Amino acid sequence: MELNLPHTAMVVRRVYVRDKQEIENEISEGEVPMTQQQQDQYKLVIGDGLARIAVGRDLSDTDYGSGGKAFVSVSLACDQSAAGISSAIVLAQQMADYYVEQHIQAVRQKCYQLNLLKPPADPNARPQY
């Protein structure tokens, strides 16, 4: 079950391109959904919550200028100490990595529907980055 904690933010941007021209753009934002384990880790770094860090990750899947891209930015409040900030950055990086992977999979599926990318011959094959 995913839970939300206050003082978090996530921005997701999905971009679809054909012949290097952007044809569609989706942006969403809200709190970062967290598993119970992530929530427990976050409770250890939030401290006074007076500092704020942000980490962004992006992935793209294009073929000759057509395809899609996903960008995820995770923002967390944390303690002002060096240890608190460092721990929050590591946690935000882990979350951003996880969510950008989820979103690039969704982008790929839409690219197949829009004929921007061809589905792999082997549906079980893992894409190469």
- Residues ≥6 apart with Cβ < 8 Å to 75: 8, 9, 10, 11, 32, 52, 53, 54, 55, 92
Q: Which of 75, 88, 94, 80 is nearest to 7 (CA)?
A: 75
Domain ranges of the chain: 3-113
Host H or E run for residue 36: helix 36-46
pLDDT computed for residue 128 by the predictor:
60
Instruction: Provide the β-strand partners of residue 68.
Output: 16, 61
Query: Which single residue is written with the structure tokens 């303690």?
Result: 79
pLDDT of 1 above 70? no
- Render pLDDT for 31-55 as a digit per residue (tens, 0 to 9): 998 888 888 989 888 888 899 999 9
Q: What is the pLDDT of residues 58-68, one digit of tens each?
A: 999 999 999 99
Q: How far apart are alpha carbons 85 and 99 in whole angstroms?
A: 21
How many residues are given for the chain?
129
Residue 3: predicted pLDDT? 42
Over residues 71-96, the pLDDT tens digits come to 999 999 999 999 999 999 999 999 99
pLDDT digits (tens, 9 = 90+) for 12-38: 999 999 999 999 999 999 999 888 888
Residue 44 has what pLDDT? 87
Q: How many CA atoms lie within 13 A of 48 on its CB side?
A: 7
- Eight-state DSSP code of residue 128: P
